[in-house]
Structure formats: C-alpha cells, structure tokens
Structure 1
Amino acid sequence: MKKFFGLCLQMGIVKLPKLRDYWSSRPVFGGYPIGSQVMPRNRFEKLLANLHFADNASFDGSDRLYKISPFIALFNAACERMYKPGRDICIDESLVPFRGRIVFRQYIPNKRRRYGIKLFILCSKGGYTYKMIVYAGKDTFRIGTVAESVVMKLMKGLLNHGRRLFTDNWYTSIPLAERLIKRKTPMIGTIRRNRRGLPKHVTGKKLKRGCVVAQQNRLRVTVLKLRNKRDILMLLITHDDAMNEEAKPIIVQITIK
C-alpha cells in the first residue's frame, strides 16, 4: 500500500496523458516506465478499483464525508505536526476538478475548471497547506455564517498568538473581525459593499483617484475605501488609514508584500 500511494504521489508530480502511460517505455513518455519499477500495472489498477476507507454497514447518513473523514483527519494532523505557520497566514478556497455524480459538487464560473469539490484551505507564507476542510454542503450544526464557521475551524490552535489573517471578500465581515480581535488575531482583507454594519460614511463616499476614506469602531476595526482604477473596500484591524511616501495606504503595501 505504501508503494501504491507513492505511485499516486508521483503521478501528481509527473503528468502523463493516461494512467497506463506510467507503465509505457515509449520514448515520447521519457523511455523510463515509472510504474513498472514499483508494481505491475494490473495490480495497481486492481488496488485503485477496490480502494475503500470505511465500513458502509456503520454509516448512519449524518456525515457525507464518512468514507474519507479519517483520512482527512490524518492528513491535517500530519500537516500541523510537520510545520508551524509564521505570523502571516491566509484562508482561501480551491476547487478540485470533478465531474462525477455527487450531491455537493460545486459550479464556480470564474474558476479555470468550473466543476469540482470545494476545499477551504489555510496556508502559511510560501504556500504551505496547514489545514483543509472539504465543503460537503449545508451544515446543520454550524454557528454563524458558513464563512465564520470555516475560519474559526481552520484557525483552531492558531488563535491568541498575534498572527495576522488575510482573507478575500467572501470571508471578511465585521462580526468575524470582532471575534478574531478578541482572540488576539488581527484580520486584513477586502470586504463586500453589501456586508452588514459597514459605515455609510465610507461606503457612500465618492472619491477621486488616489483618495482614501476610513472609519474605525470602538474595537479598532477599520473600514477603508480606496479609489484607484475603481473603488476598493477593505477591512483591517492592525493598521489605520496612514499613507506612505508614495501616497498609498500602508496596509495596501503590506498586503501586496
């Protein structure tokens, strides 16, 4: 089984058109059959066809990820054990291409491959995946919005250490930022104009290019609007609307870096 999973990892690194090409000695594929050095092709295909992680007899229908939940838990535990993130971390989603029949398959039109299974991923600086969650549809046990639930689950074990969390506008909201600041975790990210609680003085202000307007609440959560080619709305905790020598907000410069 270790050889089987090793081949699977190798196939993820070395891309060939078809599965059976990994056992081909044709020069067009490099002339070196990767698979045959490890195990026969028929043996690999038999293991692949019968790979199973769970006992169907004990499935009660409550967890759509029942068959792979133990594997995901092992993967996350290994990632957390091998590396500790630094100060800056990021949460985003990724789409694993999949066109099969599954109830929680997602369609995201702005992705390169539009159909697949959505993953919520927490990454450290440099792109290391520290933890992931597979989105399997509506969760009846969650507290708050989907975005808040995902962020708090992924951040478990990383709060109260002064890390800075960077997010996009799907996750960012004032209630979530206030929850995080109480756990000593500043949040920085773009925010949607229609989020609840945004100051109308900021969202409704008409700006000329290069101008900035901002407002901070009692918990030091700042909503900032910047006019460049278009309006950019941001939420931040660690910084105010201070400008650098190039007349750009310091927080924008930090985010780009």
Structure 2
Amino acid sequence: MVAHIGKGTNTVGLPLSNYYVKELTKTIRGSKRNVTMDNWFTSVPVAEALLKPSYNLTIVGTIRKDKPQVPPEMICSRNRTVGTTMFCFDKEKTLVSFKANNKKIVSLLSTMHQEGSIHPETSKPEIIHFYNSTKSGVDSLDQMCSNMNCGRKTRRWPLCVFYDMINIAAINAFVINFFNMNRANQKL
C-alpha cells in the first residue's frame, strides 16, 4: 500500500498521478494485464510508459477533456448528434469520444483496443462496454461501504484510514462468506 502524504510525497520528479500508477502496478509488471483507471490517473504519457517492455501493461480509462493530447474536435459537442462516436488512433493508442446525451461527451483512452468497433445492440463503442465491465468492482465496493459505514467524524487522517480499512475488511469478509456459502449450496 502506498500512502499519499500530501506535499511530503516524493514522486521522483513525476506528476503525482503518474507516480501512483507506476507504484501501484509494480506487482503486475510484465504480466501483460490490463489496468482500468479513472480520469485522474489516465493520460497519454502514462499509457506510453505502461506499454514499454519493462511494464508490458495495457490501459483503458476515462480521460479528462482538458488534457493537451486530446484534440479539440473530440470534445466539441455543439455540432454532434446524440449517439455519435469519434475515434482517434496513434500507434497503439485509441482515443474514443462518445456523445451520450445533449450535454455529455464521454472520452476514453485505450492501449488494449486497436480498432474502432461499435457494439451492434447499444451503438456504443466496445471500449466503453469493456470499461464498464471492468470498473464495476470499485463502484460496488464504494456503494457497499456507503451503505454500511463504521466511520466517524474526525480531523485525524490516520483514523480516517483506519475506518476505511475496517469498512473494506467487513466487505471482504462478507464476500468471502457469500462465496463459501454459495459453494456449499447453503443460503445466507
């Protein structure tokens, strides 16, 4: 576990998000796995760094529209109709821009997907379907922690971390118990 200690974090000259991606992926380097990330971590330099042979990892993640590598045509929504998709390809990287509704454009960056394929039933890009299928674990954990939270109001950050650890341990115990009961064909 890598703790963020504010200004005291030594990032070795890297931007904070790049530093944490590299630290958190140390244990899976070279395994040819995919890393799904949200827009705080996703950037073109991170994608290029994780593609190198020393990492050998692919990424799929939402990307912020204010990143300098995102072309302005991909974020302009005035002239686009709802449900339209734009793809941008650069070597191993694929950038997709999907207009979900009148006010929202979803942008994702992928080094795993090399072609711009659209799902036939939903008319959404396959990259979005893959992202939604792989990010659900974090969303489920967040939802379960908000439903069953042992945290208390405090000004001390170590206590906040402790409360989060207790919440996550309780969810993990529930999941393990659920699978053990399911394997034994018993009901909860």
Short-chain TM bin: 0.5 to 0.7
Partner residue, 2:117: 242
String of CA shifts for 1:186-225, please: whole Å, max 9, x gaps.
110111111122223323364211110011113x111110
Question: Gaps spanning 5+ residues in structure 2: where?
Answer: 134-188
3-state DSSP of counterpart to 2:26: coil
In structure 2, C-alpha distance between the alignment counterparts of 1:198 and 1:248, rounded to whole Å: 20
In structure 2, C-alpha distance between the alignment counterparts of 1:228 and 1:177, rounded to whole Å: 25
Question: Could you tell me which of 191, 211, 220 is aligned with 2:84?
Answer: 211
String of CA shifts for 1:81-121, please: whole Å, max 9, x gaps.
xxxxxxxxxxxxxxxxxxxxxxxxxxxxxxxxxxxxxxxxx
Partner residue, 1:231: 105
Partner residue, 2:23: 153
Q: Which letter maps to 2:111? A: I
Question: In proportion to residue count, which structure has more strand?
Answer: 1
Question: Could you tell me which of 127, 132, 135 is aligned with 1:251?
Answer: 127
In structure 2, C-alpha distance between the alignment counterparts of 1:235 and 1:213, rounded to whole Å: 12
Larger radius of gyration: 1
Partner residue, 1:172: 42
Partner residue, 1:221: 93
Question: Could you tell me which of 194, 218, 221 is aligned with 2:66?
Answer: 194
In structure 2, C-alpha distance between the alignment counterparts of 1:153 and 1:141, rounded to whole Å: 10
In structure 2, C-alpha distance between the alignment counterparts of 1:207 and 1:166, rounded to whole Å: 28
Whether the 8 Å CA contact 1:212–1:241 is kept in 2: the answer is no
In structure 1, C-alpha distance between the alignment counterparts of 2:73 and 2:88, rounded to whole Å: 8
Whether the 8 Å CA contact 1:212–1:225 is kept in 2: the answer is yes
3-state DSSP of counterpart to 1:226: strand
In structure 2, C-alpha distance between the alignment counterparts of 1:232 and 1:133, rounded to whole Å: 30
Partner residue, 1:136: 5
Identity %: 24
3-state DSSP of counterpart to 2:47: helix
- TM-score after normalising by structure 1: 0.46
In structure 2, C-alpha distance between the alignment counterparts of 1:250 and 1:153, rounded to whole Å: 29
- The CA deviation at 1:184 is 1.9
Question: In proportion to residue count, which structure has more helix?
Answer: 2
In structure 1, C-alpha distance between the alignment counterparts of 2:76 and 2:66, rounded to whole Å: 11
- The CA deviation at 1:141 is 4.7
In structure 2, C-alpha distance between the alignment counterparts of 1:191 and 1:252, rounded to whole Å: 12
- The CA deviation at 1:140 is 4.0
Structure 1 residues 255, 215: closer, same or farther in 2, change over 3 A? Answer: same
In structure 2, C-alpha distance between the alignment counterparts of 1:163 and 1:169, rounded to whole Å: 19
